[in-house]
């Protein structure tokens, strides 16, 4: 029984693609990374492929991860300023941000 695969998305970094693959795996959706071997040599987009029967669910996961990235920020417990979630300390008052 041949499985049909479709391209879910292209990512500039392997990290972004792996984040999506991990999110898909959590939903029980198997994904295939393509093009990762080229990344080490030159920056080529990494492709995430899923089986066609999982396409609709996979797309929902993709949208969910993109929203999560956009909304990911830490609110400073001291001054209330939002900082990117990657920051360990508030950009404004340097209080340690909650994880
Ligand atoms: Zn602060």
Q: How far is the CA of 66 from the centre of ligand 1 (A)?
A: 26
- For residues 22 and 52, what is the distance between their CA atoms, to the nearest angstrom? 18
**What pLDDT, on the 0 to 100 scale, is given for residue 47?**
92
Q: How far is the CA of 68 from the centre of ligand 1 (A)?
A: 22
**What pLDDT, on the 0 to 100 scale, is given for residue 51?**
96
pTM score of the predicted model: 0.61
Q: What is the CATH code for 5-72? A: 3.30.70
End-to-end CA distance of the chain: 45
Q: How far is the CA of 73 from the centre of ligand 1 (A)?
A: 13
Q: How far is the CA of 75 from the centre of ligand 1 (A)?
A: 8
List residues bridging with 46 in a β-sheet.
Answer: 11
Residue 34 exposed, middle or buried by CB count within 10 Å (0-12, 13-18, 19+): middle
Regions of the chain where pLDDT drops below 70: 1, 36-43, 68-71
Domain ranges of the chain: 5-72
Q: How far is the CA of 72 from the centre of ligand 1 (A)?
A: 16
């Amino acid at each position: 029984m041949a499985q049909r695969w479709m391209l879910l998305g292209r990512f500039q970094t392997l990290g972004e693609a792996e984040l999506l693959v991990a999110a898909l795996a959590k939903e029980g959706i198997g994904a295939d990374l393509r093009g990762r071997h080229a990344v080490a040599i030159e920056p080529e987009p990494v492709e995430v492929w899923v089986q066609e029967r999982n396409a609709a669910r996979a797309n929902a996961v993709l949208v969910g991860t993109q929203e999560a990235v956009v909304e990911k920020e830490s609110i400073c417990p001291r001054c209330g300023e939002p900082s990117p979630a990657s920051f360990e300390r508030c950009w404004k008052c340097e209080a340690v941000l909650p994880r």
